[in-house]
Amino acid sequence: MKQYVIDQLRPADYEAVKAYLDENFESSNVEGIYWIPLDQSILTEVQAEHTECQPFYFAVDLEQNFMANELLVRTKSKMRCSCMGYATEKQLNWIIQFVDAVFDKLGIKI
């Protein structure tokens, strides 16, 4: 799995990120997994056409000492579909900028 990983989180960093994700995003049934919706403006043509599959997400796995951000764009409505796949360059840049902005907002230096 391709991921953007932030490692060596300190305990206080973990707690701050967890509180932010808990407050702002949907968590899954698995502890530490969050669903972050992609901005509609960066969807591919196929993703934009698949309105029944929207919204699209990337998954975040937050653990005590790291945060792994999957670079797989997925939907929660289907297990497999042609609209799912690894992030395009535009989506990859958006995901990285999004994650970095969360850390900046929380005042966490990585």
**What percentage of residues in the chain have a pLDDT greater than 70?**
100
Binning pLDDT at 50, 70 and 90, where does residue 27 land?
confident
74, 91 contact by CB (below 8 A): no
Q: Enter the tokens of residue 101.
A: 């902005």
User: What is the number of alpha carbons within 13 Å of residue 99 lying toward its C-beta?
Assistant: 24
* Tens digits of residue pLDDT in 57-74: 999 999 999 999 999 999
